[in-house]
Structures are given as C-alpha cells and as structure tokens.
Amino acid sequence: MAGQDNDVVTAYPNHAPNKQEQNLPGLDAKMDPLASHTQLEKWDENGKPYLEEYAGNGRLKGKTAIVTGGDSGIGRSVALMFAREGANVSIVYLPAEQKDADDIVAMCAKNAMGSKEMHCIPADLMDEKAAKGVVDEHLKKWGRLDILVNNASKQIECKDFSQVDLAQAESVVRSNLLGMFALTKYSIPHLGRGACIINSSSVTARKGSLGMVDYSSTKGAIDTFTRSMAGQLMKKGVRVNAVAPGPVVTPLQPASRSGESMEGWAVGEPALLWQRPSQPAEQGPAYVFLADAGQSNQITGCVLPVNSGSYFTS
C-alpha cells in the first residue's frame, strides 16, 4: 500500500488510506479501506496493541439523542456508542447518504446490550424548516431530548484563496454554522436540567488550515459558539461542550480532496503523536464521556482535544 508507514505501531490493520476520491458528501460504504467505528485500540501487558469491540455499560440508559451526520464517520461511531450505552438515538443525514444510514441501522440491531433501534431522519439542515422538523420528528419518536450532537459539516479544499468559489464558501458556512444554529435553537426548549449539547469542532480551529480556510474558520466559530452557549444555558442546567478531532479517516476526506492526496493521508505526519490519522472509533468515547453527566457534570464550555497531540507541534 503506497504511503503506508511500517514504523507506525497500531492494531488497526489498514490505517493508511488508499488512493480514492468521492463526491460530496461521501459514503462510508465506499471508503478504501473501510474505517473502524466500534473497535478500540488497547495494549496488553507486553505493550502489544490489539482491538476490542466497544460494548457499553448503560451510562446513557433512559436518555435520547440527536446526532447529525450520524450515518457515517465520527457521527456513526458516536451514534453506535450512544446506543450501546442505552440511549435511544436519532441520526440526521442527507438523503444522498441512504446507504450509510441503512448500514448503521443494521449495525445497531446487532447490539449485544443497549438500544437496538436507530431512528433515521433524512434532512438538509441548511433549511431552517428541516431543522425544526428534525426536532419534531425526534420528539414524536422518543418523547424527549437529552443530548444534541451537532456533528454534520462540510469542507471543500481550495489552496489559493484568491480562487475560492464564494458560493461554495457560503455553503460551508451555512452547513457548518447556520445548520447548527437552527437545530440548537429548536432543541433548547426541550432540553431540561442535566441535558447537554456536544459540538464537533476541529484542531483546525486553533491551527488553521492552508487549504481549507473557510472550513477552519467555521470550526473556530464553533469553539466560540460552544463557550457562549455554555454561559447562556448554565442557569438552565444544560452543559455545552465540543470535541476537536485531528485528522480522522471519514468519507468527508476523499470527498473533498484529490485522489492522489488521499494515498497514505496523514500517515507519518510529524505533528501527530501516533503518526497516523485517527479512526472514528477513537473519537466516539469522548462524546460518550461528555454526554454522561455522571462523569462530566462539572464540564461545560470545554473544547476537548482528541487529535493525537497535534496542538503541541503547531
């Protein structure tokens, strides 16, 4: 496999992406190789890595959650891990991603414990009416809302900002920010004390991105939104936090980059402690932690970095 770094020690057998390209928004089912969404890397007493399936132990039992972009990538891991922790989950996805939505429904049905049903809501969150409809549909199905995960986002590479397509840049802003604003607005009246909001930020919010200026700008705004909403909702007893991943193997990457640049993408990158991109499964537990008030009740307004230490070499 071109781009593979044999010095990278990991239990994930195919951690280096192959040459590949997709159209936005991208499908997990077309990833090469397929990403891992529920297997976590562990280390034995001899320091040898192995993979273990995420099981869950009922930490979110009785809770319900909306996860946007929940059909694929990080959102799929979050939705599956929430379900394995006992939550009833609604995933929001673009209609073009129906294959991925069908796949996660089948994956959820195989849960050994926890919820076995994944409620699917196709919607384009750039439409305000659609955002309200998502909340209404979730409440109709589950009767309450405890956790909102604003995860859906879009990125389009442009290495020369003088050539940026402003219509595309506007769509990135509408997708990453205004869709989040709308869904949060319509969710707040239904979030009671002990509920939470978790937003998907990015390491690019602090480091920037030479090739994705508009995307990294929206992620910086998400950090500010997180802190602002945490203060506003504090008296309501609702916590608001964010997770800031580094490079993660998701369909968004081949859908927004050239096929050549995806070959061995982020493998051997000196800014990453583990010298490889993250699997979606390695992001999911951070969302579970922030959703579980028993573990994170004192955490609000926080942006949790899950990015292989890449802040330290920026």
**Distance separating alpha carbons of residues 74 and 249, to the nearest angstrom:** 9
Annotated catalytic residue within 93, 186, 215, 287 = 215
The reply to whether 215 belongs to the active site is yes
Closest CA to 185 of 142, 138, 233: 233
Cβ atoms within 10 A of the Cβ of 78, count?
32
- Which sequence positions are flagged as catalytic? 215
